[in-house]
Each structure stands twice: as C-alpha cells, then as structure tokens.
Structure 1
Amino acid sequence: MNIQELSTGLDTIWVVLTAAMILLMEGGFALLEAGFVRHKNNVNIIMKIFADITIGTLCFYLIGFGLMWGKDAAGIIGSNGFLIGGDLSQLDLTISTDTFWLFQAAFVIAVISIVSGAVAERINFRAYLLYAVMMTAIIYPIAGHWIWGGGWLGKLGMLDFAGSAVIHGLGGFAALAAAIFIGPRKGKFLPEGSSKIALPSNLPLASVGAFLLWFGWFGFNAGSTLSATDVRIGHIAIVTMLSAASGGAATLLYTLFRYKRSDAPSVINGSLAGLVGITAGCAFVSDGAAIFIGALAGLFMLFASDWLEAKGIDDPVGAFPVHAVSGMWGTVAVGLFAADDGLFNGGGWELLGIQILGLVVLCAWGFIVTWGGLKLIQLWIPVRSTEEEEEVGLDVSYHGMVAAYQEHEFIKYDDHFEAAEEDNKGS
C-alpha cells in the first residue's frame, strides 16, 4: 500500500466516523426536545426525528445532493449528481463520492430537526412530513449550493466552515417562520399579552440530549475538514470546546446574578448557542476569539428568548434563539475575528460585508420559502393540529400512545388506539 492509498483510507475512516457522530446528534435533538416539552407530546417528538432521518435521507439521496453538489448552473443550483450519479469530478475529493454523500446527509438531517423543535406540540404530523420533504430536497440543498457547492456566495468569498449560516441561520429562520405561521400553543399567551411558562417535562433527559449534541458537534466541525491528516483538526476541536463552555458559563452567571438562581434550561441552551456560534469560524479564529464568540452567543440567545416572548411567538425549545441568533452572530464574527481577513486582524471591511450579505440572503431564503411552503401545504391539509388533538396530546392523536412512559403490560391491538384516547381523556 502506497502513501496515497493509506491517506485515502484514513480520510475515509475519519469522514465515516464523524458522519456517525453527527447522526448521533439526532438522538440529542430527540432527548433535548422531548425533555423540554410536555409528556403527552414526547412520542411525537421522537417520531418527527425519525421522519427527519428516514424521509430526509431518501429525499437528499434522490434530489437534494444533486441540487447542492452537482455541477454549478448559473451559481444557483447543481445540475447533476442525483442518486449520486454522473460526473462529480468538480468536487475534487480525496474520498469516494459515497463517503462524501454520507457526511453531507448527516448535515441535512440536522437542518430539519431545528424546525422540529419550534413547532413542537401543535403541528399536524402529516404536514410536518411534507415540509420535511421540502427542506431536505429543495430548501437547504439550494442554499448549500450557493456557499459550498460552487454557487455565487462561495465565489464572492463567504466563509462558513461548518454551517453557522447555511445550517443554523437558515434552519433557525425557517423555524421562526413555521412558529409564526402555526401560532402559539393553546394557553401559552393570555389575552392581555402576558405569557405562561410551560415547565419542561424532564430536564435530566434534556441535559443528556445537550451532551449528545455537544459530543456530535466535534464531528460536525472537525469532520468538515474531510481529512484525517488535516493539521487544523486539533484547533477546531479546542475552539469548539471553548466556545460551548463559554456560552454555558455566560448564561449560568447571567441568570445567577440577575435572577438569584442559575436557570437550567438557559444554561443548556447557552452551551448549544456557543456551539452554533463557533461553527462558522472554527477553522479561522483564535482560542480567545472563540471564548468571546461563545459568551456573546449565550447572552444573545437569552435576549432573543425574551424578544420572542414579548412578540407572542411560541418556540418551545428555543430553536430560533439558539440556532438563528447564535448562527447570525457566529457568521458575522468570522468577518471580525478571522485570522487572515477579519476586520480586527487587519483584513479590512470586505470579508465582513460579504458575511453580512450572505447571512441576510440565507436567512431570508429560509424564512420566505418556509412560509410559502407551509401556505402550499395548507391548501391540501391543515398545518396545525386541531384543538382536540392538542388538548389530548399529539402522542395519542397521531401515534396512538397514551404516554411515552407506559405501565401496562399487554393490551389488545384492536383496542389500542381507542383505549389510549379514553385513558388520556379520563386523566
């Protein structure tokens, strides 16, 4: 075996391993969201995540990968590569196309899972399935092509190493559009404008979800090198860790001094905000910059959460504050702190301007196309669950489960759905 074959083998192992780490993040999304919502909707959360993985994977294989990574057509879309076929030599890979596809498929699943949390407890499951098709086949792949696949933003010089803008910014604004479109949960906001707090059903579960996401993020960021021999891997890993720690610490201390208590959901989301914030610049910024980026990401997340409450927008898991707001800050931060071209390192205003332009375009794309997509779905089936379905819980309404945690040993299959609904109403 020569050096080139050995290098290719190592790169393949590295990319497959990190792709698996990113896929494990879906377990993190499932536990985090299930822990933040009420028990009667836990199963629905899990089923939406499984829909993301199953339907999202197939849609990306059939259509999305080609639109994102195919040969560039006018800087807008890819024109080949559907079903991973055709000549994809323009990708200039050191690994096989199949290996590269697996890594990218893990990314697209993460995008749709961001939206899942924002519409938790009140979206029609069938409508969600249709939207998942739109996001994984069209919305995200086209935006991804603009910056990573040879499209116009990439040609301008926009830097987004692992997706603060194209994954988290776009996904976060898609989540915002969906949350506004579908409206708040019944009883969340009172007529005079004040809001009620929906207590998380299981904070230990949510915290384990956050730890799984944190673990997977090392694959998310470091894996984006696509090479096991890239000397940047160690630096990418340490700034990822520092930013996450800084985001969590900032929210811990802020809530401790402001409210005289350290708020657990805020600290969980603060750490995730730090991870989102460093995703764009993990290969371009210093350790010190990473700590600063993470701290501000955590604080911006808190302020954005308050803004949502003030505007009467219901986001049960904080998808918009964590992903959109932190992703926006992380993308802008590259223009400020990038070692080579950042404003604070003598690079002038050009990169910062490109980062802001790309950010505005990607976020607007996520919001507008999601709104239009939901309007289109609404013509066929209701996007929102009925009041009765929401009242008894989506677990019963869409999946025939009385609760995520069962005490029954056996039940006749034919009586299952009827018994589940009657038991829930009685409780």
Structure 2
Amino acid sequence: MKRSLHRIAPLALAGFVLAEPALAQEAAPAAAEAVGGGTAYIFNTLLFLIGGFLVMWMAAGFAMLEAGLVRSKNVSVQCLKNIGLYAIAGLMFWVIGYSIAYPGFEGGYFGIANFPYAMQGVGEADTGTGYSVASDWFFQMVFCATTASIVSGTVAERVKLVPFFVFVTILTGFIYPVIVSWEWGAGWLDAMGFSDFAGSTLVHSTGGWAALMGALIIGPRLGRYAKDGKMAVFPGSSIPLATLGTFILWLGWFGFNGASQLAMGTVGDVSDVSKIFVNTNMAACAGVVVAIIFTQLRYGKADTTMALNGALAGLVAITAEPLTPNVGMAIIIGGIGGALPVIFVPILDKLKIDDVVGAIPVHLMAGIWGTLAVPLTNTEVPFVAQITGVAATGIFVSIVSALVWFALKATIGLRPSEAEEMAGLDLGETGIEAYPEFTRTT
C-alpha cells in the first residue's frame, strides 16, 4: 500500500486487506466481501473523496493568502497563476505523474508504470482494491497541486506567466512524482525505513526547495534590497484576504493529514483519523501562539503575517507524523514550527533572498523540522533514514529545479521588463487589474 502498508494493519486484523489501486498496487483477494458486503470499500472511498476535496480547497487558500500578501498591482496575475497551476497539475498527474509516483516496484529509484495512466479506465469500480481507484487518484493529484502552490508565493511579483507555467509542468509531471515514488511508491527511501505520513518533506519541502531555487535564480523584486543594505518593505494588498486564505488552508489540512490514514473501514481507523484531526489542529494553534509571542518579544509588536505563517508552519511540521504524538508533543512540534518563520524570514532578507509570502521558512524549514521530529514519537522510524530522506530530497529537487529555472532564463526569459514590473504584472501579463481604482505604483 502506498504511503506505507503498516498504516492499514487494523484492516488486516479485520480480515480486510487493502492493496494498491490498479496500476500502482497488487490486488488483494476477497476484498469487499470480507467486511459487510463492501462497507469498508465505501467508507475508504468516502475518506479519499472528502480528503481530496478538502485538499483541493487548499488551492483557494493559497490563492487568497498570496493575493493578500502581494501588492495590489500583482493580485490578478497571482490568482491566475494559482488556478492555472492547479489545472496543469491535474493534467500532468493524469498523463504521467501518477505513473512515475507509484510504479509498483520495491526499492527502486525511478520508474514508469502503465503509462499513460489516462488510458487505464480510472472510473472503474474495482472492489478488489478496497477503495475506488478514481478516489485514490484524485486524492493523490491534489497533493501534487499543493507542491506547485508553494512555489507560486515565493517567486511572486517578478516572474512572467509562461515560464512559471512551464516550470510547474515539469515540477508536477516529473520532479514531485519522482520524490513521491521514493517513499509512498515503495521506493528506496521506504525500503530504508523513511517515514513521511502526509508529506512534510515529500510535498512541502519539495515545493520549498523548488521555490528557493527560483528565488535565487530569478532574483529579488526591483527595489527590495538597496546597495547600502537597506530593505524596502512592500506591504501586501489585504491582510483580511491573507487571513481568510490561512483559515482555508487550516481547514483543508484536516483532509491533508486526516485522509492520509488511507482507510476508514474499521473502528480503529476512524479513531486514528480523529486523533490526527486533534493533533493537526493543536499544532497549528501552537504555531500561532508562538509566532505572536516571538514577534512581540523581538519587535515590541505582534506581527499578523507572522502569526498566519506560524499557523501554517505548525501545520507543516506536524504533517510528517500526526498520528503517533500525544497532544502535548503535537503542541511542541507545532510550536517549534511556528517559531521558524520568525527566525528565518530575517535571515533570508539578510541574504537578499526575496520570499514574498514566507513560503521557504514555512514549507521548507518547517517541513525539515517535522520530518526529523518523527522518531521522537515513532520509535520504529530510524533517525538516519529521516536525515537521508531530507538530504536526498533537497539535492534532487534543488539540482533539477535549478537546471529548469536556468534553462528558462536562457531561452524564453523569466522576468518581465523593469517597466512592466514597476507597473505591475496585472497589466503586463493579464491586462486585468484586481483593484483598478486602488492599484499602487510602487
């Protein structure tokens, strides 16, 4: 079973063994009939569908968060990037991404199974798998789109639309699926005991590394960092919109983590999903509180944007293992995650790495922390495997992403002209301003 077979042990005890969906897993015998004439099949499928549309709703959260944190003159293009990247991720994961992510061979580094997946009849109801193949594919696809959303916020306000979409195509069709195959696809990281329950590294750090390479190669926004060392502050267009986006993401995370249990056919599974919900929520709460306290102590004022990122960093941190911690440990893990944006945003600015929404501290740094924290509560996971997974993901994603960004820079170009950037990408890239009567020009 992708995302680790040990998670569905309760089903095995009940005499109902889940297997990989068609094309990615081996079929299990006598599936639905073993438990109440397909009852487990129905509930497992329902979990995937509910989790899937909650994670899909996170796309709206990313769009609103980014729309609120960019300047008014760039809101329209940021909304277009977010709906565009979601659509591209869906198409690429359907055509090739799924076939790379879940090749169905043990301990491998790379493979393609049953390509193209589009030809395989995703809508078939095969009770032998333990859940609808279509529901599983949909749930996996929305995770792919989440990875691309992370990149969008970091490189906002100074990258053209076409090269960004080209990068998203490669990220969702190749880079992300390869990383996923190493663990959730029963690849080499899974074989050495690496564990990432819902994607602190596989999803969030992957997006974070890709975003970091983009920020380095594209460069900062015009006027952000002066030669004398001073930094210009570019206020976002709408704190209420960014706050709404954060709450939407928080809500979607219950699907992100909860449905990663991958089964709801037994009392034990439902109990585990409930515990995951609680731990996920409490980690986010701790992240907010810690961020507020840290900014109050450091600056004498609480920073709203840091509180928002504190919530998200807490969520990212608990995502690697939301089941085994008790509530107290979930609070500690999330609280440390919430401190990371407060610590690393100023460091990035000193290094002149322009991360518009703070996605690198939130998704990359908190993702690393959450992954390394897994052995603290899950003693079956070797710490060396977690370090290896973090390092391997960073090396692969950074190298491939950098090559793609450099190739785009050398061919079609990454940045608009200085005049277009100063005027705002809404005009230059879409021709439609989000706030035509209130657009700033600085």
Superposition TM-score, scaled by structure 1 size: 0.90
Are 2:397 and 1:366 equivalent residues in the alignment?
yes
2:295, 2:302 within 8 Å by CA — same for their partners in 1?
yes
Q: RMSD in angstroms over aligned alpha carbons?
A: 2.0
CA offset at residue 426 of structure 1?
A: 9.4
Are 2:331 and 1:291 equivalent residues in the alignment?
yes
1:61: which partner in 2?
94
1:225: which partner in 2?
261
- Given the alignment, which residue of 220, 235, 246 partners 1:199? 235
Distance 2:139 2:436 in 1: 36
Amino acid of the residue matched to residue 304 of structure 2? A
1:268: which partner in 2?
308
What count of residue pairs does the alignment treat as equivalent? 399
SS of alignment partner, residue 78 of structure 1: coil
2:315, 2:334 within 8 Å by CA — same for their partners in 1?
yes
2:92, 2:172 within 8 Å by CA — same for their partners in 1?
yes
Question: Compared with structure 1, are the counterparts of its residues 426 and 189 closer, same or farther at alpha carbon in structure 2 (3 Å cutoff)?
Answer: closer
1:132: which partner in 2?
168
1:75: which partner in 2?
108
Superposition TM-score, scaled by structure 2 size: 0.87
SS of alignment partner, residue 228 of structure 1: coil
Distance 1:424 1:400 in 2: 13
1:81, 1:87 within 8 Å by CA — same for their partners in 2?
no
Moved over 4 A (4+): 85-88, 423-427
2:358: which partner in 1?
318
Amino acid of the residue matched to residue 332 of structure 1? L
2:213: which partner in 1?
177
CA offset at residue 83 of structure 1?
A: 3.8
CA offset at residue 170 of structure 1?
A: 1.3
Distance 2:114 2:334 in 1: 37
1:69, 1:81 within 8 Å by CA — same for their partners in 2?
no
Identity %: 35
1:80, 1:86 within 8 Å by CA — same for their partners in 2?
no
SS of alignment partner, residue 373 of structure 2: helix
- Given the alignment, which residue of 377, 384, 388 partners 1:353? 384
1:16-52 Cα deviation digits (max 9, x unpaired): 1110000000000000001001000001111111111
- Given the alignment, which residue of 194, 197, 201 partners 1:161? 197
SS of alignment partner, residue 82 of structure 1: coil
The gaps in structure 2 that reach 5 residues or longer are 1-32, 123-127
Amino acid of the residue matched to residue 405 of structure 1? Y
2:407: which partner in 1?
376
Question: Compared with structure 1, are the counterparts of its residues 17 and 425 closer, same or farther at alpha carbon in structure 2 (3 Å cutoff)?
Answer: closer
Distance 2:46 2:430 in 1: 38
SS of alignment partner, residue 371 of structure 2: helix
CA offset at residue 81 of structure 1?
A: 3.4
1:170, 1:365 within 8 Å by CA — same for their partners in 2?
no
Looking at secondary structure, tell me which structure has more helix per residue: 1
Are 2:141 and 1:141 equivalent residues in the alignment?
no
Amino acid of the residue matched to residue 193 of structure 2? G
Distance 1:377 1:426 in 2: 28
2:423, 2:441 within 8 Å by CA — same for their partners in 1?
no
Are 2:435 and 1:396 equivalent residues in the alignment?
no
Amino acid of the residue matched to residue 380 of structure 2? D
